[in-house]
Each structure stands twice: as C-alpha cells, then as structure tokens.
Structure 1
Amino acid sequence: MYEHIAEAIKKPDLIALRPDLVCLRFETMKIYSALGAVRHLLESGTVKPGDTLVDSSSGIYAQALALACHRYGMKCHIVGSTTVDRTLKAQLEILGATLEQVRPSRNLRLDQELRVRRIAEILEENPSYHWMRQYHDSIHYYGYREVAETIADEVPAGPLTLVGGVGSGASTGAIASYLREAGRDVSLVGVQPFGSVTFGSEHVSDPDMIIAGIGSAIPFENVRHDLYDRIHWVSFDSALAGAVHLLRSSGIFAGLSAGAAYLTTRWERSKDDSRTYVFIAADTGHRYVDSAYAKHTEAPDIEDLEPREITSLDELSHPWSAMTWTDDSTSDQKKAL
C-alpha cells in the first residue's frame, strides 16, 4: 500500500511490444526527479518541512514538484510558461501550490529567459525560498536510480539501447549512468527537437514544434553530452507520425516525445537487432489531443520516414536527422557545446 499518490503514479510500466522492443511508459516521469530531489534536500538539511520550493516549468515538472511538496509538507511556487493549461492550474491550486505565468512570448528562448529572470526576482524578494534548479542541479539525477533498477530487474540481460528525450538531461542521462555503473552494456540515444541549443540545432527552426520538453533554448548544466552515443533530431510532423503509429499498433497513448523516441527506436533497431531496445514514454497523450492527435489523419506514414545521417551539425535538416555523437570527427563541434 502506498503512503501517497505520488509514490503510486511515479511507477512506470514496462511494455514489451516485441521481445527486444520495450516501452518504458510513465504517467508522468518527472515525479521521480522531483521526489528524489526533495527527499535529498530534506535528508541533507538543506531545507525543512514548511519551507517554500520554487522553480520554472512548462507543465509536467510543475505537477511533479507540487506533488512532491504535498508529499513532504513543503510549500511550492511555480513560475510557469503560458503552456500550463487550465487542468494543471486547477490541480496546482487545490494541491496548495501557487502559480504565476510569464507573459506570452514569440519564441521558446524568450519564454525560458523570462521565467528564469522572474525566479531571480522572487529569490531576491524571498531569500528563504529554495530554487530547485531542475535544469542545472544534479540532485535531479538521484530519483532515477530506482528506474534503472526496475529495468535491470525486468529487461533480460544483454546489451541494451535506451532511447528518450534529452530534456534537462536528468532522465536519460541518469538512467543510463546507473545501468552502466551496475555493469550493463548500455548505448544511449538522445532525442532532440530542431531549434534546441543542447546539441547544436538552434540554427534550424521548427515553427510547429510543441515538444520543447525534450530540448532547450538555453543551456542546461544537467546535460552531460559525453553520456550520449547517438542523437536524433525529430520534427513535429515526424514525432506525430511516431505517436500515432505507437497508439495504433500498441494502444499506448503517449506524448509527442514518446512518438519521437518510438520513431527513433524503430530506426536504430532496424540497423542493429543484436540489442534490446527500451524507449521512454514520459507522459500520456492527453495534453496533446488538440495540438497534435486531432491532426492524426495528416500524419505522415511512419514507413515512409528515415533520418538523414549526418557527420556535421551544419548538415542538420528537416524532417529528421541523426548523428553518431561518439564520432571523433565532430569533436570540435562537441567542445563548443
């Protein structure tokens, strides 16, 4: 029996689509990050029950942090993007969290900069508040050890490829790190949107992109670039194709980042069938119904898609590009990141 709902809904489901193809499906993945971070802060004495934790979020982390604060008796303040919808707003309010949203912005970079700037103002006004720094503080790695242990216990032994959105770096980076520490042969494939600075695609925009949670318009210190073996940059249309095919073929209703990860995994598996592939579905598809799933009849056929293999970031192009990140020929570009 669980002591709190956060402990229950954080548990992922491992779903075998094929013997060597597994979906790691979460209701909302960032609860692992938030619970692990808040627990560590309490145990280390950095914060105490009743303190206020503050952070920026475009949606999923806001819910996760609010639940973690509810679980441990903390106060929560969120500086949110305009993408925080009325459903989440109502949940945050009832959970006791406070939310303020920055003004609408013409692009993701400005939105993120406005949120970070507002947090700085809040901390100056309230020095007792603790900034969670989900994009920059390595404490957000800690919660994912349990996920790695679940994979180690349930996925048969042997070489494994983990595929998922890079995002803040804490999920895919942490899971792969913990599995490698335990001696597992793990290849890590990161998924990025075009326009993200994290792996150098800021010069290629995607006006339809709404899966900002897997990329960034500002540098994230929690991203450890050297952990990743391959990177795929996926457009909105390609991610939608993956999400629609995933739902149609397996019944898994997940977010666009899952669609991008599924698309990527199918390609990687077609090139090397000697490994078991685990791809991450970080959230459900409910918040993408109007913006994505309603356009399912317009989605490309997944069988018609394949990435452009590149050796330089200058070669990046829509709708889908892929690159071996461990290739020494790109070392100068990597150092620039």
Structure 2
Amino acid sequence: MDHHIADALSRPALVRLDSRTLCLRFETMKVASALEAVRHLLERGAIAAGDTLVDSSSGIYAHALALACHRYGLHCHIVASTTVDKTLHTQLEILGATVEPMPPSASLKLDQSRRVARVREILRDHPRHHWMRQYHDDVHYRGYRPIADLIREHADCSRLSVVGGVGTGASTGALATFLRETSPSVELVGVQPFDSVTFGSEHVHDPEIIIAGIGSSIPFGNVDHTLYDTVHWFGFDAALSGSVALLREHAIFAGLSAGAAYLAARWEQRLDPDRHVVVLAPDTGHRYVDAAYSRHATAPAPEDLSPRQISALGDMDLPWSRMHWNRAEAPPNAVVSRAIPVAS
C-alpha cells in the first residue's frame, strides 16, 4: 500500500505491445525523478521540512515537484511556461504550490531564457530557497534505478534498445546508465524535436512545434550525449502519426513524444528484426487533444513515413531525420558555457 499518491505515480505501467516491444507508460514520468531527488536531498540535509523548492517548468516537472513537496512537507514555487494550461495551474495551486506564469512569448528560446532568469532573481531575493535545477543536476537520474530494474526483469537486455525523448537527459540517460551496469550492450535511441540545441537541430524550424519537454532552446547540463547511440528528430506531423498509431493499435493515450518514440522504435526494429525495444511514454495525451489529437483524421499513416538518414547535422530536414550518434560528445551549442554545480 502506498502512503501518498506520488509513490504510486512514480511507477509506470509496463505494457507488452508485441513479442519484442515493451512500453513504459507513465501518467507523469518526472514524479519518479522529483520524488527521489527530494528524498535524497532531505536525507543529505541539503534541504529540510518547511523549505521552499523552486524551479522552472513547461508542465510535467511542475506537477511532479508539487507532488514531491506535498509528500514531504515542503513549499513549492514554479516559474511556469505559457504551455502550463488552466487545468494543471489549478491543480498546482490546490496542492499548495505558488505558480508564477511567464508572459506570452514569441519563441520557445525566449520563454525558457526568461524562466531561468526569473528563477535566478528569486534565488537572489530568497537565498534560502533551493533551486532543483531539473535542467542541470544529475540528482534527477536517481529515481530511474527502480525502473531500470523493472525493465531488467521483463526484457532481454542482451539485445535491447531504450527509445524515448531526451529532455533533460534524466529519463533515457538514467535508464541506459543503470541497465548498462549489467548489460553494456544496451543501446540508447534518443528522440528530439526540431528547433532544439540539445542535439543540433536548432537550424531547422518546425512551425507547429508543440512537442513539449523533449528538446530545448538552451543548453542542458545533465544531458550526457555520450550515452546515445542513435538520434531521431521529429516534426509535429510525424510525431502525431506515431501518437495516433499508438492509441489506435494499442489503446495507449500518450503525448507526442511517446508517438515519436513509437515511430522511432518501429523503424529501429525494421532495421534489426531481432532487436527488443522499450518505448517511453512519459505522459498522457490530454494536453494535446485540441492542438494534436483533434487532427487525427489527417495524420499521415506511419507506413507512409520514413526517416531521412543523415551523417551530418546540417543535412537534417522535416518531417523526420535519423543519425548514428555513436556516443559522440555534445554539439557546440549544447555545451553549458558556465559550470553549474550538481548534487551527487
């Protein structure tokens, strides 16, 4: 029995899609990382009951951190992106979080930069607040160890690929790190949107980009690029195709990043039919209904799509590109220019 809903939400449903494909389906994936990070910081004495934790979020992490703070008796302050909708905003306030929305912005980069700058202002004025640094602190890896153990129980890790959105690196990067402790051959396939500096797609503009949470217009300090074997970049139309297929074929209602990961996983299996894959579905599809799922009738069929195979970042293009990353270092624009302290 769980003593708080956050404990239950930190565990995914593990769903077998076919003989070689598993789906890790979360309601709110970042609860796993936020809950363990907060517990670890309390155990170390870095924070104490009654303290205020602050961070910036486009939605999923805000909910996760608010739940963790509720679980452990802490205050929560969220600098919220314009992508945080009324439903989530209301939940956060009832959970006791202070939500500070950013003004409408013309670009994702400006929105993210404003949010981080505002967090720094808050810390300047309230030095006892603790910045969770979801974009930079590797403490967020820790919560995925039990999930790696779950995968290990049910999958053949000797020929396994983990496929999912990169985001801050904490989910896919952590799973690969922990799985490789016993199975070094586990491959990691990262999913990115266009317009993201993380894996060098900032020069390709997708006019409909709403794939929240898996890319960034600013460098992230806790993405370890050397963990990734292959990277897929998706535009909106291709991601929607995968999301609709995941729902139609397997009744899994998930966000656009899950749809992109599903499409990437299908392609990787086509290239290597003996490969087993685990697809990450980090959230539900509810916040994408109006902007994405309502257009399901016009979504392209997955079998009509294939990635543009590239060997240089400058060659990528919409709607879908793929590249062997081969555990290479970060591209220049993805390197954090100033050292940011991380917690062990």
Do they superpose with TM above 0.5?
Answer: yes
Q: TM-score range by the shorter chain?
A: over 0.9
Distance 1:56 1:157, change over 3 A: closer
Alignment match, 1:272: 272
In the TM superposition, what are the counterparts of 1:161-200 in structure 2 within 5 Å? Answer: 161-183=161-183, 185-200=185-200
Q: Which residue of 1 aligns with 2:253?
A: 253
In 1, Cα distance between equivalents of 2:161 and 2:79: 35
Instruction: Quote the Cα distance in structure 2 between the aligned partners of 1:336 and 1:123.
Output: 26
> For residue 10 of structure 2, what is the aligned residue in structure 1?
10
Q: How far apart, CA to CA, are the structure 1 residues paired with 2:157 and 2:224?
A: 26
CA distance in 2, matches of 1:205, 1:297: 24
Residues in 1 aligned to 2:176 and 2:275: alpha-carbon distance in whole angstroms: 15
Are the aligned partners of 1:201 and 1:313 in contact in 2 as well (CA < 8 Å)? yes
**Superimposed CA distance per residue, residues 282-325 of structure 1 (whole angstroms, 9 cap, x where no aligned partner):** 00111110010001011011110000000000101011000000
**Residues 132-171 of structure 1: matches in 2 within 5 Å?**
132-171=132-171
CA deviation after TM superposition for structure 1 residue 212, in Å: 2.9
- Alpha carbons 1:15, 1:23 under 8 Å: kept: yes
Aligned to 2:218: 218
Q: Secondary structure at the match of 1:196?
A: coil
* Rounded Cα–Cα distance in structure 2 between residues aligned with 1:293 and 1:82: 20
How far apart, in 2, do the equivalents of 1:327 and 1:104 lie?
37
Conservation of the 8 A alpha-carbon contact between 2:240 and 2:256:
yes
TM-score norm. by structure 1 comes to 0.97
1:244 aligned residue = 244
Unpaired segments of 5 or more residues in structure 2?
335-344
Partners of 1:85 and 1:335 in 2: CA distance: 33
Does the aligned pair in 2 maintain the 1:80–1:115 contact within 8 Å? yes
Q: Which residue of 2 aligns with 1:24?
A: 24
Deviations 1:7-36 (A, max 9, x none): 012211111111101111111100011011
**1:142-179 deviation line (CA, Å, top 9, x unaligned):** 11111101111122453100000000001000001000
SS of equivalent residue, structure 1 residue 158: helix
Contact 2:54 2:77 in 1 (8 A): yes
Establish whether residue 41 from structure 1 lines up as the match of residue 41 from structure 2.
yes
Paired with 1:32 and 1:201, the residues of 2 have a C-alpha distance of: 28
TM-score by length of 2: 0.95
- Matched-pair identity in %: 61
Q: Is the 8 A contact 2:198 2:331 kept in 1?
A: no
Q: Deviations over 1:84-114 (max 9, x none)?
A: 1111111111111000011110000000000
- Whole-angstrom CA distance in 2 between matches of 1:32 and 1:16: 21
The alpha carbon displacement at 1:182 in A equals 2.4
> 1:33, 1:318 → 2: CA distance?
32
SS of structure 1 residue aligned to 2:145:
helix
Where does residue 337 of structure 2 map in the other structure? Answer: none
Name the residue aligned to 1:66: 66
Q: Check conservation: 1:42, 1:48, Cα contact below 8 A.
A: yes
Counterpart check, 1:98 vs 2:88: no
- Displacement of 1:5 after TM fit? 0.3
Q: How far apart are residue 327 of structure 1 and its match?
A: 7.9
**Residue aligning to 1:80:** 80
* Contact 2:256/2:288 (<8 A) preserved: yes
Contact (CA 8 Å) 1:80, 1:100: kept in 2 or not? yes
CA distance in structure 2 between the partners assigned to 1:5 and 1:82 by the alignment:
26
- C-alpha distance in structure 1 between counterparts of 2:204 and 2:227, whole Å: 24
Q: Which amino acid counterpart does residue 25 of structure 2 have in structure 1?
A: R
Q: How many residues align structurally?
A: 334
Preserved contact between residue 231 and residue 324 of structure 1 (Cα < 8 Å): yes
What is the distance in 2 between the residues matched to 1:50 and 1:334?
40
- SS of 1:322's partner is strand
Query: How far apart in 2 are the matches of 1:160 and 1:183?
Result: 9
The 8 Å contact of residues 232 and 322 in structure 2, kept in 1 or not, is answered as yes
Cα distance, 1:184 vs structure 2: 5.0
Distance in 1 (alpha carbons) for counterparts of 2:206 and 2:112: 17
RMSD value over aligned CA atoms? Answer: 1.3
- Tell me if the contact between 1:159 and 1:184 (Cα under 8 Å) persists in the aligned partners: no
Deviation >3 Å, runs of 4+: 333-337
Q: Residue in 2 aligned with 1:262?
A: 262
Q: Counterparts of 1:155 and 1:82 in 2: how far apart (Å)?
A: 39
